[in-house]
Amino acid sequence: METNNKYSKNEKLKSKKAIDYLFSKGKSINAFPIRAIYIKKPTPESVSINAGVVVSKKNIKLAVKRNLIKRRMREAYRLNNQELKTSLKNKALEFDIMFIYSSKEILPFETIERKIKVLLSRLTELE
């Protein structure tokens, strides 16, 4: 079985209205230094997960370093989201998720990937 490890444009959480709704009504789970805010939608439109990443300017001052962390978080998500996607498709649900990086130091990819895996497995158990 070939895994589809894509994080295409239509899977990205970009809509300002959806992001505002997510931050006002969403629930949160934490695996320091990454927090995930999520909201369940009962009616899937086209994709089962819309995801975004945020790195605070307050914690990481330089844009180059913020972008590095965002790239690492997106890659960790892209490589490990398959299990969550399949379980959501089976249950006809949709998630909006925002991953928020809250550490003041730049962690290696392996650490970020491990934390993203923890969050994704918790989200899989939630449904």
Q: What is the CATH number of domain 12-126?
A: 3.30.230.10
Q: What is the spatial order of strands in the sheet that 27-31 belongs to?
A: 27-31, 34-41, 94-101, 49-55
Per-residue pLDDT of 50-109, as tens digits, reads: 999 999 999 999 999 999 999 999 999 999 999 888 888 888 888 999 999 999 999 999
Between 127 and 7, where is the model more confident? 7
For 6-41, the pLDDT digits (tens) are 788 888 999 999 999 999 999 999 999 999 999 988
Task: Convert 51-81 to b/e letters by CB count within 10 Å (16 or more is b).
Answer: bbbbbeeeebeeeeebeebbebbbbbbbebb
Q: What is the pLDDT of residue 1?
A: 43
